[in-house]
Structure formats: C-alpha cells, structure tokens
Structure 1
C-alpha cells in the first residue's frame, strides 16, 4: 500500500485572475483608464518618433506662440513646442512613479510579510520606525532626504519611495496578519515549509489584491510628488521636461501666456485619475470575486 505525503496549498480561487482582469476591462471607466495608461507608456517609449518637433529646440523669435496647426499647444518662453515637451515629459511620468513605488516595495514588502507572519523584534522595530516616519509631513521628509542626496529625478524619487515605504509596510503587515491565521498557512508550517516558502508561495499571492490597490494609488501620489519637487527645482533638471517643471514655467509666465498652465495640468490630472480609477476597479473586482 502506498502512502502520500500531505501538502499544504492555498485554496484555489473559483475565478482565476484573468476573470478579474476581464471584469475590470468590462467597466467603461476602468477600460478608459487602462487605455490611457497604455497610451502614456506608448508615448514614453515612442516619444522621439511621434513628437511633432524637437522638444528642446529653441526659437526665441516665436516665444509664447498661440495654438496653431504648426504648434498644437503653442510654445513656451524659449519658443519650444509645448506639445512635444508634454510628450517628452510622459517618460518622466512613467519612470518617476516606477522608481518611487519600486523602492517602497523593496523596503515595505519583505518587512511587512516577515512582521505579519513572525512578529517579534522585526515587527516591533519596523513598526516603531514606520510610526516615526508617518508622523512627519511627507513633503518635508522628502525634502530632507533630497537635501542630503542632492537634486535630481532619481534622488527625488528615492526620497519619495522611502516616505512611501512605511504606509506600504502597514498595508502588507495587516493583510499578512489576516492571511497568517488561515488553515492552509498552519498546514504549510506543520509539514515543514520554510518561512521563505510560506511567505512567497502561500501568503504573498493571497495579499496581492490589497497590495495592487495600494500600488496603483501610490503611482498617482508619486506622480504628484515628482511634480511638486520639480516645481520647486529639486526634481527633474533642465533641459529635461517634466509636467511639474512645465507648471513652474507656466506659473512664472502666467501673464504672458495664461493658457500654458493648462496642458501639463490636464495631463497630470488625467494620469492621476487613471491610476486611481484602476485601483478602485481592482478593489471592486476582487470584492465581487470574493462574494461569489
């Protein structure tokens, strides 16, 4: 007679992840948001090929030009084509949130998983550090870190990622605490599953939903943080274009060209709204999946 060794595995969902994706895409608002983000990524990659003009080419004889077929969104104080610079800045709008959220994930995800499963010293120390950082105003903390590291896109986004990490740690830790009480986790530990395997194979897939919601929300917040730091000169440095630095330029020259604030402002609003809509749709779709 043969015997089989019991194995522990998380319960399989009755509706796979692709059904959640289809649920999101069936909703007009979330489908439009996804399409907008895809367009943004396309512009970030293919920007040099689709830009109507060189975004850094100056024409001081054509400063603050009005909207025309030649310059669809006019020109700035140096005669540079605004539409081309909006397209160029889309690269920053994609890269900046990825850097900051990536840093937050590298710090907050493993710490949150370990603290939620094992508790102990790691939970106590990481929890107190998270409380300390969360008690500080986010922008002030980011400014302090940038002051140490120096201005620039990468340094600014590293600072933002460090500020995001405690909040992400709290979300991951709370979700891990809930999943760690499930029977399949106890079974995995009982049959000798290592802590690493328990965390990455049994717990992480089951906290993916709240983690994805938090990540999409942080992407929008990171874009606003990058724009704020670029607005005050600590983010993207000239001659590179950023929606935040373009807003700064538009603010400085508001009496010469009142319309110049509109293109980067609308681009930023639509991008943040798209990220938030996707996050809400993920939350709602997962809620529907759990109720069925």
Structure 2
C-alpha cells in the first residue's frame, strides 16, 4: 500500500475515532451498497455456515473409502462424484471449508500478534526502536513467503500449524509497515499530545488512542492477507506439506485431481473453483473496504 493510501485511511480512522459516530452507519451502508460487496460477504458467510454445520450438511463421511466406486460420475448419491479411493468429493469439499478458514486465521493471527504491537510502538516512539524493528522487517520482507514456509516445514515436519505459523511470520512485516505508517501519522495529532500531557502511559496511548485510529488500513491489509494465506495453504497441501491425509483440504484435493487427471479430467473443477471464489471474495471485500474508507476520507 502506498504512503498516501495509508495516510488517507489513517485520517478516516481519526475521524471515526473522534466521536463522529453518526457517520459510521452511512459508511457501512455505502460499503454494502455495492453488489460485489454483498455477494462476497454472503459467500464468506456461507463458508462459515458450511464449516460449522459440515457434519450435518455433508452427505457422506469424507474419509470413508469404497474402492469399488472409484471415479464414480456425478449422481444423486454422489453430487460431485468420487475420487480415486471412492471418497465422496462433495463431502470432502464441504469438510475442507473448515481448514480453508482455519489456515488464514492462524497465519494472519500470528502476523497480527507480531506486526501490530511492534508497528504501534515504532510509530509512536521512533528512534532506535523504530530503526531496529524496521530493518528486521525489511529482512523478513525480502524472504519469499512460500520458500520460508517450506524451510520451516522441512525442520519441524509437515503439518498445517507449522506451515501457517511460518507464513504468519512472513506476513508480519507487511502489517508492521502498514500500522507503523498509520501510527506515525496519528501520533502527530493534538489528541495524542493531550493524552501524554494528562499523564497517559505509553500502553494506554497505543491501545486506546492510536490503535482505533489505524484500524481502517489494518482491516484492509488483513482482509487481503486472508486470501494470500488461503492460496499458500492450498499450495503447501498440494505439495503434501500442509494438511496431512486423511484430512480433506482443497489443496490436497487438487493434488489428487492432478495425479488422476486422465481418469477423471473434471475432478479438478470443484476444489479449484472453491479456491478461486474464496480468494476472490476476500480480495473483493478488501478492495471494497479500501474504496469506501478512502472515498469517505476525501469528503
């Protein structure tokens, strides 16, 4: 994100955090006035419902094997057919929603824990602390995220948690940069000087006065990273380094479809479409939030 965008979103956050409560519903109304936003939010809500109610919605046990029904075509009993082991594709697709949502939550959660406090501290205090943390962030930003995750998995072993924590460490510098830039802009405001003058501690200044005012750019970046994390999880599971069998994930389903592309050429469509639509929903929602916040900041 550019410096101008960060500054504009930070100004929007300051307006919202300074008691201008009356305009918040209008901003929310403008956000959901866009059909793309409604569709994206509705799709993500549908995924959450599927993840919660997977055991009731899925027609079969996602790990139950029936070799006699390998590569069964679409039917009433198997709406999306079966895979090479005779497992119901629709059931596995539904159960995989849980991991499709859990993986981004883990990686982005780690990034938030590492990037937000350090970005707030560096933006407010600056000096040596800012220099050291910024150089460390620059170093981590130079590392390819997927390659770093592969290195961590090679040391700690394959698994969803190890891979997503490694990605979270790589995502943290981008959140640090966004929060630091917005915090530096907010720290120049008179209400921050007033908070210091009345004796507010650094912790209270950061969490009560600055954090709410940098929430807008932070929310945009977080939404975009959710989509990136999902793609990374699918890639790692495709390579066999993410979710391990017999658990279902869209990445591992893509791998199965790839290995059996001549026996079942259409088996790549269900997990592939699911990944594309989910990432598109995250990115569309993030773009909508960005556009709404920046247009409000220009009013």
What TM-score does the superposition give when structure 1 sets the normalisation length? 0.94
Aligned residues: 284
Aligned-pair Cα RMSD in Å: 1.4
Do residues 117 (structure 1) and 124 (structure 2) align? Answer: yes
Gaps of 5+ in 2: 1-15
Report 1:9-28 matches (<5 A): 11-13=18-20, 15-28=22-35
Farther-moved stretch of structure 1 (168-177 vs 121-130)? 121-130
Shift of 1:19: 3.1
Shift of 1:14: 5.7
**CA deviation digits over 1:91-111, x for unaligned, max 9?**
001111000000000000000
Shift of 1:20: 2.6
User: Equivalent of 2:246, from 216, 234, 239?
Assistant: 239
Is the alpha carbon distance of 1:149 and 1:190 closer, same or farther for their aligned partners in structure 2, counting shifts above 3 Å?
same
Distance in structure 1 (CA, Å) of the matches to 2:250 and 2:22: 40
User: Equivalent of 2:69, from 58, 62, 72?
Assistant: 62
Report 1:21-100 matches (<5 A): 21-100=28-107
Contact preservation (8 Å) 2:112, 2:172: yes
Report 1:148-159 matches (<5 A): 148-159=155-166
Q: Which residue of 2 aligns with 1:249?
A: 256
- Quick one: higher RCO (CA 8 Å, sep 6+), 1 or 2? 2
Contact preservation (8 Å) 1:130, 1:166: yes
Distance in structure 1 (CA, Å) of the matches to 2:167 and 2:151: 11
Report 1:158-237 matches (<5 A): 158-237=165-244
Q: Which residue of 2 aligns with 1:282?
A: 289
Gaps of 5+ in 1: 1-8
Report 1:133-148 matches (<5 A): 133-148=140-155
Shift of 1:135: 1.1
Distance in structure 2 (CA, Å) of the matches to 1:15 and 1:99: 34
Contact preservation (8 Å) 1:10, 1:184: no
